[in-house]
Each structure stands twice: as C-alpha cells, then as structure tokens.
C-alpha cells in the first residue's frame, strides 16, 4: 500500500491501543499514525502517573494539607516541538505538548506532562497550593540498594556493555540538589510555580569525554549509536531555582559521585584512579 493510500485508511478514525509503550504496541502506534489514524494510547505509565497523582491530591484535600510539592520532570517542560539549540534558554514558562509527545511516542514524558497538568488543574480547583520540581536526569550517590533508570544510564556507559553511546543530549542534576529543592519548595513561603533543575545539558559524546578525563583507564564507548546528525544541546535557566538559594552542583562532581557510588555498591569494579 502506498503511503498516500495508507494515510487515507485511517483519516478521521480513532483507535485505542492499550500498553502503547511496549515493544510491539509502540510499532502498532507508529504504523497507525502513518496511516492517518488518531491514536488514543493507554500505558502502564499514563494511568499510574495521572490517577496516582490525583489519588494523592484527593487525599490531601480531605486533610489539612496546604501545600503539595510534586516531582514532575523537565520532560513536562521541553517537548513541544520548539527548536532547542545551544543559544536557546528553556525556562519554566515552557510546557510540553501532549499531542507532540504522543505523536513522537515519548510515553514517559507524556505521562509526566499529563500528570503535572492534572495536578495543576486539581489544585487550582480545590484551593491547594502546588509547587512542582522539574528535574532532568538525576544522578549522584545511591542510598537504596537497587538501580534506578537515570543512574543506570551512567552505569551503561562505564560497564563495558556497549561500544556506542546514545546520539542524544540529556540534562543532568545531582540527587542531593533535587532533594533539597523539594524541601525548600515546601519550607519557603514564597516558593511557587515550577522549578526546573538542570545543571547542564550535554551530548553523550561530551559526557563520555568528561568521564574519560576523570577515569582515564575505564574502557568507554567511542562512537554514537547511529549515523544521524548530532543532536544539539540547549540551555535550561537556573534563575528560578537560584531564587530558592540553590546553586546546582556541577556535572563533573555529579558524575564522580555517581561512579564512586556504583563502585561502592558493587555495580561496577575498577581501580579508583580519577585525576
């Protein structure tokens, strides 16, 4: 079927795909969208994120809770199709576009965007104060014995499991800064709205270079995972989080603390020979 004919097949029709973030279902969604269908996706992610958030807020409403601090994500900020290039400074006035997230199958980002939207609406309608913390990839020392996704992203670069790094840019921030951000958002009476927490956005090639500079003997991936053009970086404003008194710990420290913690917890073994 030609793509033009395929596009006509689904025009004006709505299809629901359950479990749309899965391996097979995400391809079904991709093909449906190419055929012109409007896709309504349910995911393991969306329901827990949105309904879970609203459940907690409903409980808050029934008690004497005055202010709620929500752990959102910079994912609920940046995914709206606006260009992101090295001269662009993203700030808290940016909002991700659910339709854009769905079209591009960014399911986790969609879940965070919808959950944050639902939280703002609920709190406005029910007289609850809300502050959101919108961090990028959170790294730093682990307190718990298990890995979470963002720390695992660093482990994958240093454990010798791959000779490629993602051809992508991520923002990074220290877990201790993010924790303190939550507490100050709760304690400081004037805290309000959203707080982006991103120390620096770097391409994974730069991330690898930073690691190599500190740990020269660790074998690291030396090429991107695909031949697509290199993803550009962008900036995220630190002004608002500075207004809470937080000066974000630099990327180099964040990486070092993460690697030392991974080593201490036995996720990776090598000599500590950073410069």
**Of the residues 135, 166, 171, 221, which one makes contact with ligand NAP according to CB under 6 A:** 135
Q: Which of 82, 112, 223, 240 is catalytic?
A: 112
**Of the residues 9, 121, 148, 253, which one makes contact with ligand NAP according to CB under 6 A:** 148
Nearest to 224 by CA among 160, 162, 156, 149: 162
Q: Is 17 left (phi over 0), alpha (psi -120 to 50) or beta?
A: beta
Active site residue 112: yes
CB atoms within 10 A of CB 13: 12
Q: Which stretch binds ligand NAP (CB under 6 A): 116-124, 130-138, 183-191, 245-253?
A: 130-138
Q: What angle do CA 230, 21, 174 make, to 5 degrees?
A: 55
Q: Is 160 in the site for ligand NAP (CB under 6 A)?
A: no
Q: Is 58 in the site for ligand NAP (CB under 6 A)?
A: no
Q: What distance in Å separates the CA atoms of residue 175 and residue 255, rounded to the nearest whole number?
A: 11
> Residue number with the shortest CB distance to ligand NAP?
150
* Tokens (6 digits) for 207: 């991330």
Q: Looking only at residues 59 through 88 of this chain, which bind ligand NAP when binding is defined by CB under 6 A?
A: 71, 73
**Minimum Å distance from CB 86 to ligand NAP?**
22
Answer whether 274's CB lies under 8 Å from 256's CB: yes
- In this complex, which beta carbon is closest to ligand NAP, that of residue 100 or of residue 108? 108
- What residues make contact with ligand NAP under the rule CB under 6 A? 48, 52, 71, 73, 112, 135, 137-138, 148, 150
Enzyme catalytic residues:
112
């Amino acid at each position: 079927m030609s793509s033009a004919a395929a596009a006509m097949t689904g025009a004006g029709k709505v299809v629901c795909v359950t479990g749309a973030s899965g391996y097979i279902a995400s391809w079904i969604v991709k093909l449906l969208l190419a055929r012109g269908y409007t896709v309504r996706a349910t995911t393991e992610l969306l329901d827990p994120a949105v309904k879970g958030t609203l459940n907690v807020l409903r409980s808050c409403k029934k008690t004497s809770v005055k202010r709620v601090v929500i752990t959102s994500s910079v994912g609920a900020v940046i995914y709206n199709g606006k260009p992101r290039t090295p001269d662009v400074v993203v700030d808290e006035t940016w909002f991700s576009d659910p339709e854009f997230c769905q079209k591009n199958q960014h399911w986790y980002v969609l879940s965070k965007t919808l959950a944050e939207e639902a939280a703002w609406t609920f709190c406005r309608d029910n007289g609850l104060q809300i502050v959101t913390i919108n961090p990028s990839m959170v790294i730093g020392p682990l307190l718990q014995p298990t890995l979470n996704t963002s720390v695992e992203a660093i482990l994958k670069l240093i454990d010798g499991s791959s000779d490629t790094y993602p051809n992508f840019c991520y923002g990074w921030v220290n877990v201790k800064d993010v924790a303190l951000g939550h507490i100050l958002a709760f304690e400081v009476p004037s805290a309000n709205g959203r707080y982006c927490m991103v120390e620096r956005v770097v391409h994974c090639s730069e991330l690898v270079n930073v690691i190599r500079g500190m740990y020269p003997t660790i074998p690291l991936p030396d090429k991107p995972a695909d031949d697509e053009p290199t993803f550009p970086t962008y900036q995220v404003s630190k002004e608002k989080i500075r207004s809470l008194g937080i000066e974000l710990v630099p990327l180099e420290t964040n990486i070092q603390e993460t690697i030392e913690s991974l080593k201490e917890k036995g996720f990776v073994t090598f000599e500590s020979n950073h410069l």
